[in-house]
Amino acid sequence: MTIELVFITYQRLEYTKLALASVLADPTEEFSLTIWDNASTDGTPAYLRNEVSDPRIADIVLSKENVGQTAAVNEVWGRSKADLLGKLDNDCIVTPGWTRTLAQAHRDIEPLGVVACWHFFSDDFDYDRARHKIQTFGSHRIFRHPWTCGTGLLIKKTDFQDFGPIPGQATTQYWLRMAAAGRINGFYYPLIYQEHMDDPKSRHCLMHGAGSFERYREVTFGLCAGRYHDMDSRMTLRREVVRNLLEDPFAPQYYLGWRRKMRSLRARASRLLSWPRARRTGSGRR
């Protein structure tokens, strides 16, 4: 099966150099690569133009404006003739050869939807907590979840044609819609790792103190989307994402309709009850 990858960059040239080197590390890995830069101003365009060379690079798009990730993905995937489509971000270091394993899984598992590399660390994975979600399909095993991360992944071109362009600025709801339609989504198992350099556990992470969070606010998706604002909230979110991946059901129905609303109400009630009494009653000092 032929593979087309889109590698998206925006600022953080340090990340781009490491991530792109990992993508191209194995010269025998077969794919076509489009590099799309979203109007970086930190020297990335010059680096891509003058220092990057590989026969697998089909195109380097230097966008004059930041169109966002999904617009770039939709453009490249929409015109692709490949059997499999992949997305890569410039903040993740992939394991060389990852496309071979995921492509073989797609070849052998007809209803396989999105399958991805694991974007956390080995010590974040707990087999005993996750075993209820690991299923065997022929010679392959998939650690199932209705959505995956948005990078280091492959989907079938036919699925992209069936479900249409990715709306909004994130892929989660798109993957969830695929799962609800019967696709098998998840992470390949045994896990294939990709190092997310924005993860505080990464030795390459650029965000540590308060100043760095502010500096990269417009560059990092989680900050931009308001999902966290400092290291404490970043680690709280991280723990919850890992817990959800390991423990919660992979059935898409769990995350849709009235079940999702009930869980949201229970979570809200729990947060209210956990607040200090003075804050709930308004009787505390101002």
pLDDT at 257: 76
Tell me the β-bridge partners of 37: 9, 62
pLDDT above 70 as % of the chain: 83
Residue 114 has pLDDT above 80, yes or no: yes
Q: What is the mean pLDDT of residues 86-112?
A: 99
pLDDT confidence bin for 236, thresholds 50/70/90? very high
Identify the structural domains of the chain with CATH numbers, from first to last: 3-195 (3.90.550.10), 208-281 (no CATH)
pLDDT per position as a tens digit, 128-166 = 999 999 999 999 999 999 999 999 999 999 999 999 999
pLDDT at 233: 84
- Render the chain in DSSP notation, one character per residue: --EEEEEEE-S-HHHHHHHHHHHTS-TT---EEEEEEE---SSHHHHHHHH---TTEEEEEEESS---HHHHHHHHHHH---SEEEEEETTEEEPTTHHHHHHHHHHH-TTEEEEE-B-S-GGG--HHHHGGGEEEETTEEEEE-S---SSSEEEEHHHHHHH-SPPTT-SHHHHHHHHHTT-EEEEEES--BEEETTSTTSTT----SHHHHHHTTTT-HHHHTTS-SSHHHHHHHHHHHHHHHHHS---GGGGSHHHHHHHHHHHHHHHHHHS-HHHHHT-S--
Q: What is the mean pLDDT of residues 192-221?
A: 81
Residue 75 has pLDDT above 90, yes or no: yes
Residue 187 has pLDDT above 80, yes or no: yes
pLDDT per position as a tens digit, 219-229 = 666 666 666 66
The pTM for the full model equals 0.87
